């Protein structure tokens, strides 16, 4: 994530049904799920998101059911990462398993507003708000987790390990 990206801010306790409502769970195709990303929060939300942009969320993002469809929908919408105050535990694991980068920043989430431009460095654990000049430190993504992300998720990562 070397380029400047746009933040799309959502609130607290965004559950998996808001991310991808149950009526869209008839497929696992990332493009189809991505076309309906956040439809339970705001119909048409995905139409204002550009490829490479990020979701910026409040507390407990991804709560609710443990469906893998939610991180797949986010990725299918062209969003490679979510920055949040905090994540629901099972969503956090599912996100990385599906290849979605997740950064937890606690109360520093207040330093990012909707529409801000950000530079995100997963390896260093640094988010620079280009719009305001603020810098936010977070726990860096460990190298083995970065490798899972680089491979597109846990399944492609394991396949590569088994082939090597």
Q: What is the pLDDT of residues 78-122, one digit of tens each?
A: 999 999 999 999 999 999 999 999 999 999 999 999 999 999 998
| H-helix or E-strand spanning residue 147 | helix 143-150
pTM as predicted: 0.94
Q: How many domains does the chain have?
A: 1
Query: Which residue range(s) make up the domain with 123?
Result: 5-163
| H-helix or E-strand spanning residue 108 | none
Residue 4's pLDDT band (boundaries 50, 70, 90)? confident
Q: Which CATH number is 65's domain given?
A: 3.20.19.10
């Amino acid at each position: 994530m070397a380029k400047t990206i746009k933040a799309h801010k959502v609130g607290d306790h965004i559950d998996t049904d808001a991310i991808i409502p149950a009526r869209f769970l008839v497929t696992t195709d990332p493009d189809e799920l991505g076309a309906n990303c956040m439809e339970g929060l705001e119909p048409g939300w995905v139409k204002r998101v550009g490829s490479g942009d990020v979701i910026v969320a409040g507390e407990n993002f991804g709560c609710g059911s443990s469906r893998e469809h939610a991180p797949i929908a986010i990725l299918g919408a062209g969003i490679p990462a979510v920055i949040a105050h905090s994540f629901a535990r099972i969503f956090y694991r599912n996100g990385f398993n599906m290849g979605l980068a997740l950064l937890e920043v606690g109360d520093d989430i207040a330093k990012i507003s909707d529409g801000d431009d950000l530079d995100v460095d997963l390896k260093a654990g640094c988010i620079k708000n280009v719009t305001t000049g603020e810098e936010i430190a977070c726990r860096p993504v460990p190298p083995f987790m970065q490798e899972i992300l680089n491979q597109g998720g846990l399944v492609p990562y394991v396949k590569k390990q088994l082939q090597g």
